[in-house]
Amino acid sequence: MNTERPYRILISGGGTGGHIYPAIAIANAWKDKHPASEILFVGALGKMEMQKVPEAGYAIKGLPVAGLQRSLTVENLSFPFKLLKSLRIASGIVKDFRPDAVVGVGGYASGPVLYAAQKKGIPTLVQEQNSYAGLTNKLLAKRAKAICVAYPEMEKFFPADKIRVTGNPVRKDILNLSGKKAKAMEHFGLVVDRKTILVLGGSLGARTLNQAVLKDMKGLEADGYQILWQSGKFYFKEMQAKLQESDLKHVHLREFIREMDLAYAAADVIVSRAGALSVSELSLVGKPVIFIPSPNVAEDHQTKNAMAYVEHGAALLLRDSDAVGRLRAKVGDLMQSPGQVTALGENIKKLAKPDAADAIVHELEKLVS
């Protein structure tokens, strides 16, 4: 196809890093192959994509759409009005931008935008990151031209003839960590004579992981470890106050870590939730991982994500209900077994799909040509 043609690609969705970063990775991969193209994002007003997408160098428009709350709230009363307004705005964006194709990555904004595009006969591609498909993607998939997934056996959610197993696209800077460790140690203020535990609860944070670190951080420091700890936006001030009450010198707290390539390079062992993006990134990193899946997700899909790796000897599992009070022992047992450390790192890399973004771009090229 013509790499010089100024294609127009619309990408919609967001809400969490698990949706936003794959979307940006797809945009970057498309731009690499088709530099004359124009790419526009559509997100939900007030959500993190409205900040993260411009930081990545792309334009974004916002919709007032929001999700339904599980409990009866005032916000739920406004839901139909926000949805109707978002559908109207999305239709206007599609009409004005005239995209060659539209990509939906999940999240509140995906629904109105892909619905508007499908009504106008514009080809759409759905990218589902998780092993359990969300409601929006299941509805949109009926009229989508292609559905790119990261896990096998997704036929229970989507038409089999539309499914393409591509993996989840990740940030390019983590594809090669060699030679970055010294820079990473300096950047985060870490010391070279201590093993580093990297704790990741996602961009918003995970209460159980934070409570587990609080419970065991003194013991882990006494055992000779240092902790690089991303607490997440919701918990940072609380964790900061708790940490300031201690006299610990080797616990490094961050609300959010932007330089994830350096964080991964510094880590000797990683403790993480098992969201789709985290699992995909960690398979590329090739370090020993302890997954603590969130139980508060649809169909417990984070546990399913984690078990797909545990069953291949590629990660360890610590259940959310057991994490507080057992993190120190889990880390200690692992790090005292060099053979297991090596095996976990080697096995998780075997499950990596480093070319996921390019594979999705290839499917997108089929739609626009």
Amino acid letter, 299 = E
130 annotated to bind ligand: yes
**Residues with Cβ within 8 Å of residue 61, at least 6 apart in sequence:** 40, 41, 42, 43, 89, 93
16 annotated to bind ligand: yes
305 annotated to bind ligand: no
Q: How far apart are CA 353 and CA 318, in angstroms?
A: 25
> Minimal CA–CA distance to 103: which of 91, 118, 86?
118
Q: What is the dihedral of CA 236, 241, 246, 249, to 10 degrees?
A: 50
91 annotated to bind ligand: no
203 annotated to bind ligand: yes
118 annotated to bind ligand: no
Give yes or no for a contact between 40 and 7, defined as CB atoms under 8 angstroms apart: no
122 annotated to bind ligand: no
Q: Are strands 195-200 and 163-165 parallel, antiparallel or unpaired?
A: unpaired
18 annotated to bind ligand: yes
279 annotated to bind ligand: yes
Residue positions in the annotated binding site?
Answer: 16-18, 130, 171, 203, 257, 276-281, 302
Residue positions in the annotated binding site for UDP-N-acetyl-alpha-D-glucosamine?
Answer: 16-18, 130, 171, 203, 257, 276-281, 302
